[in-house]
Chains A and B, each alone.
Chain A
Amino acid sequence: SQQGEEDPQALSIQEGENATMNCSYKTSINNLQWYRQNSGRGLVHLILIRSNEREKHSGRLRVTLDTSKKSSSLLITASRAADTASYFCATLNTGTASKLTFGTGTRLQVTL
């Protein structure tokens, strides 16, 4: 399996703090994407970063990509209780058409 891993598995922070999640993967990629999943629901796309990009921003989200280390991080700034969810990275691996390979996910709990 080419599945990646995320770190930490679970993260608990207080509202207003920043949350950082890390993702490692195993093969060369075309892009890396982050998805969010509210409890027991489907996944929603958050942000995509191409293999030739190093950093990308979208609102309170900041994603970095280091292809030499095969790793990415997702930073959520000024977190809110509504950010409580599971977060998954997914890679579009080179030579695998449109198939996304997902990581194991980080469960984020933001408390008031």
Chain B
Amino acid sequence: DVKVTQSSRYLVKRTGEKVFLECVQDMDHENMFWYRQDPGLGLRLIYFSYDVKMKEKGDIPEGYSVSREKKERFSLILESASTNQTSMYLCASSPNTGYDTEAFFGQGTRLTVV
């Protein structure tokens, strides 16, 4: 079974802190994603990576950056956390084998910025 593991289920950080959210997948998938989920807004794509060291902005990249130094690991970085970044963060991966592929999700990290 594909496994996507996010480093923390719950995280509490202070305003202004630099925050790292880590995601690891074990199925050699080329594509990795970071989504943010807020009530009534569904999932919104923050960043996407289709290969090592490659990244592409999603719909809401402001205030975030990403790093993909190894194929299995995709990190989301909040450069200076703010209270409006309190949210559920979901990492996903998928293979680059054509259009008919599903995404596999981690269990989510609920981040609270105080």
Contacts and interface: CB of A to CB of B under 8 A. Distances in A.
A42 interface: yes
Interface residues of B, number: 31
A42 B33 CA distance: 13
A98 B59 contact: no
Given A30-B99, A31-B99, A41 B108 contact: yes
B37 to A, nearest CB: 9
A45 B102 contact: yes
Contacts of A59: none
A75 interface: no
Contacts of B103: 33, 35, 43, 45, 90, 100
A48 interface: yes
Contacts, number: 69
Contact of B107 (A41, A48, A104): A41
Interface residues of A, number: 28
A101 B100 contact: no
B90 A99 contact: no
Interface in B18-51: 31, 33, 35, 40-45, 48, 50
Nearest to B38: A104
A40 B108 contact: yes
Contacts of B99: 30-31, 50, 92
Interface in A12-47: 30-31, 33, 35, 40-45
A111 interface: no
**Nearest 7 pairs between A and B by C-beta?**
A42-B105, A45-B102, A104-B42, A102-B43, A30-B99, A43-B105, A98-B31
19 contacts: A1-B59, A3-B42, A3-B59, A6-B42, A9-B40, A41-B107, A42-B108, A43-B103, A48-B100, A50-B99, A88-B42, A90-B43, A97-B48, A98-B48, A98-B94, A98-B96, A100-B103, A101-B45, A102-B44
